[in-house]
Structure 1
């Protein structure tokens, strides 16, 4: 057999070299993420790990962000330290509900040496807030040194928080799905409307198709009353168990409350504006139930979450 050796034209050499460098960089970043051990910046092994919970929905307009903020306040009232991360890259508005204007966002961890302490904001009721931004798409192209720095910074969240609540975007976009797949637990928010339930079902179906295996809690928001809320919750759970073979955790319901809308207009969380309101009482019950649940043994805290999320971003 005679083998001929051809000389590649210059432009083909350049393209081949660029592609090789791209794959080498991606492989190097994945290796850094996978080999980074879950240790604190000081080098000592961490003993404290926050519960990382992704709050998501099948569609927009179901009150997901509002519930995330007020659930954080309900957990704080129980003595828990809570950090809310605005992971809605398209319509980030946690800061609007809190009536704050952030100076920095998570993007500053990618561009400059701004420590996470300066990005993390003190919110009302003892909670903390980490603003997000659309620039997080660039996580897929992080340099090795910046990737290591990011992991070291987010590891500090485990020292500050018992709970980390991720307010994801609505729908089943790729980035939303990656946030949900990387979390230890999921809170799925929906309403009794057929369209909201259909989209929530679609979200679960897509999640399971990507081998998602986290504990999934469900909250029915804006129910006319408790009877309707629990009826919808039961029927939705039975449908998921029958057709998706998945068991959902019933976290609770939040009844429709005019005071919620009034609080949004005032840019004050309804949990603080109306401490005796119906929705506030519902969330107190939900927070208490969430706190009583046994923590998953596979939980890996903030650092583990971001390691998994970065790994998925690099494979995009």
Structure 2
């Protein structure tokens, strides 16, 4: 009874209503807006829709940043009501009945029916642009939204994801390429919800894999990719032919650049487009009745920006250069980049995340950088525009296998 009076007094202090969760049954549609893991970690429970927003029970409404992060994650305006922390946790356990415990989710994923999983490749022309930070945080965010996510660290020279998150896998891609194990044996569930195929540290590079190794990888990847909603390839920095082939074979390729590397970003788009043209021309020649894709649409993320407007401004400059120096001289094919969004620069936040071996979206969920990453994750979660039947390929593995010459 004393705790009840105390929480009501806190509600009056903050000028917000108190809510008795023993008398409330949350709207199921509201619960779907916030993943159970996030609700548990941040003591937040969506209750019902209210005036174009959502009423959310919380235990600690102390900062505007926390409310902004909650609103960004749910995609709705948030109206808060104060509730006791234990009451929120009990209500979460009671009402998120369809949630699968994190430790069991990987096993559940293996037994589900096959999915026509999407494939996203993340590339950059050079290292140090934050590509791996984006890959890992986006994988975490998509998992929080209920997606089955497989993250493949395809950097065979620097196991960046494992290093950054203090993960110690039993096997890496190097073991697979040596022929010691199968691909499905090295898929490991992480504490962040997504599954991981780890890269390796050493001199071996993705560009060095031979045709037999590549064929083996593609054939085994076919089996496991359909168990996930999306597979994310974090490809090694650079624009080698093999890296670009993986990017072109994916449903979508995402190019990461920064304001300091505009020329490198443009060069990455240009090299990707040239490889796109070469592949489409080859498929047109070798595949009967193939109708080529004439427009290459890479997704672009501007990382380490000082303002959202800066990211848009630089992206528009890159597009202007592309139109003047590439599209103006093309008759059949063209490149039309799509701006996915920008990530505000937070040097201290990312440095602290690396020092603690954590994801910045977990460590500082209310920070502006985390909110930018949250936006990117939500955008990628949306399915790409449906391809017409004239293009000749479904979303998922079909194009991937055909480009690599494996039916």
Cα distance in structure 2, aligned partners of 1:136 and 1:170 = 10
Deviations 1:291-315 (A, max 9, x none): 234345334525752563466xxxx
Equivalence for 2:377:
287
Query: 1:126-141 counterparts in 2 under 5 A?
Result: 126-133=193-200, 134=204, 139-141=209-211
Instruction: Provide runs of 4+ in structure 1 moved above 6 Å.
Output: none
Do the aligned residues in 1 keep the contact of 2:207 with 2:241 (CA within 8 Å)?
no
Equivalence for 1:211:
276
- Please report how far the alpha carbon of residue 65 of structure 1 lies from its aligned counterpart in structure 2 after TM superposition: 0.9
Cα distance in structure 2, aligned partners of 1:55 and 1:117 = 22
Provide the secondary structure at the position in 1 that maps to 2:234: strand
* Alignment CA distance shift 1:89-1:310 (3 Å): farther
Gaps of 5+ in 2: 1-112, 278-294, 328-334, 388-392
Residue 48, structure 1, aligned to residue 115, structure 2: yes
Equivalence for 2:262:
197
Query: 1:218-229 counterparts in 2 under 5 A?
Result: 218-229=300-311
1:240 aligns with one of 322, 327, 338: 322
Provide the secondary structure at the position in 1 that maps to 2:370: helix
Equivalence for 2:252:
185
Provide the secondary structure at the position in 1 that maps to 2:192: helix
* Alignment CA distance shift 1:75-1:192 (3 Å): same
Q: TM-score, normalised by structure 2?
A: 0.58
Deviations 1:234-261 (A, max 9, x none): 2222322333222111100100112122
Q: TM-score, normalised by structure 1?
A: 0.74
Residue 142, structure 1, aligned to residue 217, structure 2: no
Cα distance in structure 2, aligned partners of 1:310 and 1:140 = 14
Cα distance in structure 1, aligned partners of 2:244 and 2:312 = 27
Larger Rg: 2
Query: 1:1-316 counterparts in 2 under 5 A?
Result: 48-112=115-179, 114-133=181-200, 134=204, 139-142=209-212, 147=215, 150-193=217-260, 196-212=261-277, 214-245=296-327, 246-257=335-346, 258-297=348-387, 298-302=393-397, 304-305=399-400, 308-309=403-404
Do the aligned residues in 1 keep the contact of 2:156 with 2:174 (CA within 8 Å)?
no
* Alignment CA distance shift 1:301-1:248 (3 Å): same
Do the aligned residues in 2 keep the contact of 1:189 with 1:221 (CA within 8 Å)?
yes
Cα distance in structure 2, aligned partners of 1:289 and 1:300 = 17
* Alignment CA distance shift 1:296-1:242 (3 Å): farther
- Please report how far the alpha carbon of residue 274 of structure 1 lies from its aligned counterpart in structure 2 after TM superposition: 1.3
Cα distance in structure 1, aligned partners of 2:125 and 2:275 = 16
> How many residue pairs get matched?
261
Cα distance in structure 2, aligned partners of 1:296 and 1:170 = 29
Cα distance in structure 2, aligned partners of 1:105 and 1:306 = 22
Provide the secondary structure at the position in 2 that maps to 1:232: helix
